[in-house]
Amino acid sequence: MPKKIRRELARLHENLSESLQRNDAVTTEAQIELSGNREALVDGCRGVLQYEDDVIRLSTGRRVVRFQGSGLMIRTMQQNQLLICGTILSVEFIG
């Protein structure tokens, strides 16, 4: 195989490896799905740090996610997934 093709294959392999590592980092982060400003489904929650009607803070491993709004409540919670309902005014990622 010509040297030029081997170098190109090595470069492609390296780029693919870097891309896969970045995807692993993304999938270990919490996944948050917003339905307008009324619901947030959080997958990857490791714990509730603060729970008030205007602020909910969640631990997601490397980060803390803070929801601010009014009438906030955790409607359902199963293993590492929960549903926040109310009027969500902001979502902040800390850490």
User: Comparing C-alpha atoms, which of 94, 71, 86 is closest to residue 35?
Assistant: 86
Structure tokens at 62: 């490397």
What residue ranges do the domains of the chain occupy? Answer: 3-94
> Tens of pLDDT along the chain (95 residues)?
677 777 777 776 676 666 655 544 455 688 999 999 999 999 999 999 999 999 999 999 889 999 999 999 999 999 889 999 999 999 999 98
Cβ neighbors of 65 (< 8 A, separation 6 or more) are 30, 32, 42, 57, 58, 91, 92, 93, 94
Q: What is the pLDDT of residue 19?
A: 61
Lookup: tokens for 85: 């309902």
Fold of the CATH domain 3-94: Immunoglobulin-like (2.60.40)
Q: Dmax of the chain from CA atoms?
A: 66
Terminal-residue alpha carbon distance, the chain: 48
